[in-house]
A and B are shown apart, each in its own frame.
Chain A
Amino acid sequence: MEFNAIYVIVAREFKKFVRERSRLVSAIARPMVWLFLVGAGMSRLVSPVGGVSYMQFIFPGILGMTILFSSIFSSISIIWDKEFGFMKEILVAPVSRLSIVVGKALSGTIISTIQAVIVLALFPFLGLKLGILNIVGVILICSAVSFSISAFGILLATFYESYESFSVIMNFIVMPMFFLSGAMYPVKLLPDILKFVAKLNPLTYGVDALKHVISPLATGPMSPDFNIFVDIGVIVSMSVVFVLIGGKAFERKG
């Protein structure tokens, strides 16, 4: 792996992210809308269970959504790079395909984690009490989830050539991933077929791990669905698998 190349791929994405204010604004606005418009409305229907209000329940899911959108968006920029030619500049360089994939995945990780941290700062408004250890835990989980989703996004991007495919990815992959991640309703309450799909969804384990750290005392339907070690194990192994397959997929292109 070439560290200078990884560094500069990350630096480029970061610089562009900082320059593009509108992207940051919409990235922060989306979770707010879900949390305060959808969440507040739904709170009227769903009464607190096991000491957790509905808004508190969806907070980990909203963090997951922030990560999902920004990681996929960041990785999908590979399609833009292909369309506008910049990808060629990277592909003709003496850099291994694995370094390119790792660089892109780290870019998504950093950008998504920053956004997740901004959303995380809302927790006092929801009546949540998080200690410093919980906060550190949330940030660590967020960065791990960001990495795995970014790597997943890269894998997606290798299959698509033009940005027309962007709306296909958004409607048929990203939105279902969000709804079937346990973000808005517990996985354990889903019908069997959807439960099965949710278990294949990498985001499910990220959201679940966040639930463990944000509402550790929750019981009943709003409690986490899996053991936290299962969550972390799945996140880490999916990251490795996605990066390696992504690297291979890039190699084949070359």
Chain B
Amino acid sequence: MSIIKVENLVKKFGNVTAVNDVSFNVEEGTIFGFLGPNGAGKTTTINILCALLSPTSGRAFIDGHDCAKESASVRKSIGIVFQDTTLDKDLTAEENLLFHAYLYNVQKSERQKRVDDALKFVDLFGRKDDLVKKYSGGMKRRLEVARGLIHRPKVLFLDEPTLGLDPQSRANLWEFITELPKQHNVTIFMTTHYMEEAEVCSDIAVIDNGKIIARGSPEELKKIVGGDVIYLKTKDNATAVEEIKKVLNVEASAKGGEIFMSTIKGDACIPELIRTLGDSVLSVRLQRPTLNDVFLKLTGKAIREEESSGSDTIKEEVRAYRRRHS
């Protein structure tokens, strides 16, 4: 069943079109990745889905509720972890979670238990009485995820959940996020800049300039850039190239002391390669396409170019527009 439905969504800020006729569905219990460079329209789309912004046209539904018309039901069904922290740093971790429980009208008998469980789940129970300003970046983010789950939402939005975290905290957070759909019966809708992190998604939509330009699982998307590449060193590269072309019927060429060849199934190709060339093989290296390659191919830019000037200008313009009209 589709828990999120987006139909022909358009959002304009003045003459800037941040989201341009976007449609997609997200299935219940999956981890959905929403990828795109800065200023592509990711956060705008999330804000519409969270009933924080109303769309210029088109419709969006969460668990059957219209995001533009039934904001109260939509807000009850979702949890959000924003890019920038939204914790109160002058309150303790426990107080932040209790605040949330009251705000979402969690029953009195349930309140303390849910807060305690959430703190234990993210391994912060021992530090529940510390002021949040004493927490590290990773701890804050974990606390925010825990907070987002207290009211048992159907969908949890994670906007760049690992931005600004060190590699170890990122790894920890991911391990924990991938457990969420099973443990908490929740659908994850996330955006990220880190393409290797998007590998955990069961389904991905790539957005650029306000339009969805690709859809599919990480495996499906990688097929867009073609197959794997095998790099190989042998005692005699010229002879080896001839052998490969003749026996395996694959295009290969030698360059810079290395032979490289593209194939569809690189891993299956290696044993055959070694059987053919025998002792002559010195080393073999398999390179599979990454989502970053996919991204590069689709948008012509690497996703991590955070300072890419064009998209920043759009962001600035949208901000200026919102300042003027709010």
Contact = CB atoms under 8 A, between A and B. Distances in A.
Real binding pair: yes
Interface in A1-53: 2, 4-5, 7-8, 11-12, 15-16, 19
B95 interface: yes
Contact of B90 (A16, A90, A95): A16
A86 B326 contact: no
Contact of B95 (A15, A85, A91, A93): A15
Contacts of A253: 326
Contacts of A4: 102-103, 105
A90 B103 CA distance: 8
A129 interface: no
B178 interface: no
B86 A93 contact: no
A88 interface: yes
B104 interface: yes
B92 to A, nearest CB: 10
Given A84-B89, A85-B85, A253-B326, A92 B52 contact: yes
B219 interface: no
A85 B82 contact: yes
B102 A7 contact: yes
Contacts, number: 69
Given A4-B102, A4-B105, A16-B91, A85 B76 contact: no
Contacts of B52: 91-92, 254
B44 to A, nearest CB: 15
A117 B273 CA distance: 88
Given A7-B102, A93-B103, A15 B91 contact: yes
Contacts of A88: 82, 86
Contact of B100 (A7, A16, A89): A89
B95 to A, nearest CB: 7
Interface string B88-117: 111100010011101111000000000000
A12 B105 contact: no
A11 B88 CA distance: 13
Nearest to B106: A4
B80 A92 contact: yes
Contacts of B255: none
B86 A2 contact: no
B72 interface: yes
Contact of B103 (A5, A15, A87, A161): A5
User: For A5, A88, A92, A253, which residue has the most chain B Cβ atoms within 10 angstroms?
Assistant: A92
Contacts of B86: 85-89
A11 B96 CA distance: 12
A12 B91 contact: yes
Nearest to B84: A85
A204 B87 CA distance: 38
Interface in A76-128: 84-95
Contacts of B98: 8
A86 B104 contact: no
Nearest to A162: B323
A19 B103 CA distance: 22
A53 B174 CA distance: 71
Interface in A145-185: 161
A84 B95 CA distance: 17
Interface string B61-77: 00000000001110110
B103 A8 contact: yes
A197 to B, nearest CB: 29
Contact of B102 (A8, A19, A84): A8
Given A86-B88, A252-B326, A93 B82 contact: no
24 contacts: A8-B99, A8-B103, A11-B102, A12-B91, A16-B90, A16-B91, A85-B85, A85-B86, A88-B86, A89-B88, A89-B147, A92-B50, A92-B51, A92-B78, A93-B75, A93-B100, A94-B73, A94-B76, A94-B104, A94-B105, A95-B103, A252-B326, A254-B51, A254-B52
Interface of A: 2, 4-5, 7-8, 11-12, 15-16, 19, 84-95, 161, 252-254
Given A4-B102, A8-B98, A12-B95, 13 more contacts: A4-B105, A8-B99, A12-B99, A16-B91, A84-B89, A87-B86, A88-B86, A89-B86, A89-B87, A91-B52, A92-B52, A94-B71, A161-B323
Interface of B: 50-52, 71-73, 75-76, 78, 80, 82, 84-91, 95, 98-100, 102-105, 147, 323, 326
